[in-house]
Amino acid sequence: MVVAGSRPSASLPLRAWGARRAEALAIPLGALALGFGLFSLFLLSLGKSPAAFLDLVYRGGFGSAFALQNSLQRAAPLLFAALCVALPARLGLVVIGGEGAIVLGGLAAAAVAAPLSGAASGLGIAAMALAAFLTGALWLGAVGALRAWRGVNETIASLLMSYIAIALANHLIEGLLRDPGSLNKPSTRTIDEAFRVGPMPGLEVHWGLGVGVVACLLAWLLTERTTLGFAARIAGGNVRAAQIQGLPVGRLIAGFTALGGALAALAGFFEVAAVHGNANASLIAGYGYTGILVAFLARQNPLAIPPVAFLLGGIEASSGLIQRRLHLPDATILLLEGLLFLLVLVGETLYGRFKPFSPHLWGEKRAAAGQAAP
């Protein structure tokens, strides 16, 4: 009911905007804090010191110039893997097959490099990147097509496609594409030195980091500042309403899923061209799965992905130091990441439930009707 003589509060929309932003920051941070708290109880049950663990995480991931560059190096593929999850999420899709796209992208890059041996550096690098990009787009684009036109669940389909991609890559690396000289560790032929991607100026980190940050910025512009991104958000909010408005929902689903797969495959390209020099089992490093956690912690916001990827990259970079100093298995970090992911998923159910962060609980409806003048 509108009170006579009332006037709408000019400050309430600003408060509502601030509350939503505070909620988007507070809940993931709360999930992180709770996750570290529960993990500390686990460490105490093993007779290990949580304070020593956190100290080693800091020293191994962030405590020196070498540690920082190691963390940035590990963060580079996480940027692409997280975008593989975040872009389809704009349409309400949960795509978790980035690991397969990374592996196949790296394999495609290595396969294209072999017949181009002796070609110009720029041509070879461009061909490798394009081969990886198209391979990832086709592989996960198929998942989007199945979802759009056959109603196949994209989460299950993308996970199964990831398993198939890894099996296919192992088969090719150990068979058709294997370098006869790789005896102890099967791999493809080593790419030409001219095709190697060097470090960024002033850093010992390859250009995958810079390209990944630019990709995050472009992804944000696509989703937030273009009509295509607006259409994707409409389709993600209400598919039926989007169809009534004549939006090409099927093409949007297939396109955004394909773009996510293409970006994930670029991570595989950089792993081959800048890190390993060939395709081998080291491509299956779990970056695609960690990227899921990065995307959810960033709440599918491309601009939030780089800092979150750096945090997770630092935690993973400290795993070797933790293993040596605390005598814990290397999988301890995986346990921590799994716990954090579970709590982040639980946190997704809490949005809009707390009065300080929910304008409709403390007066948004009254603001729409008008507030009594003081």
Kindly report, residue by residue over 186-198, the tens digit of the pLDDT.
999 999 999 999 9
pLDDT single digits (tens) 244-253: 889 999 999 9
pLDDT band at 347 (very low <50, low <70, confident <90, very high): confident
Res. 71 pLDDT band, cuts 50 70 90: very high
To the question of pTM greater than 0.85 for the whole model, the response is yes
Question: H helices within 301-347, ranges in order?
Answer: 305-317, 319-326, 332-347
Helix (H) or strand (E) holding 217: helix 208-225
Domains and their CATH numbers in the chain = 74-328 (1.10.3470)
Cα separation, 162 vs 159, whole angstroms = 5
CB proximity list for 185: less than 8 A, separation 6 or greater: 280, 281
Q: Work out the average pLDDT over 203-232.
A: 95
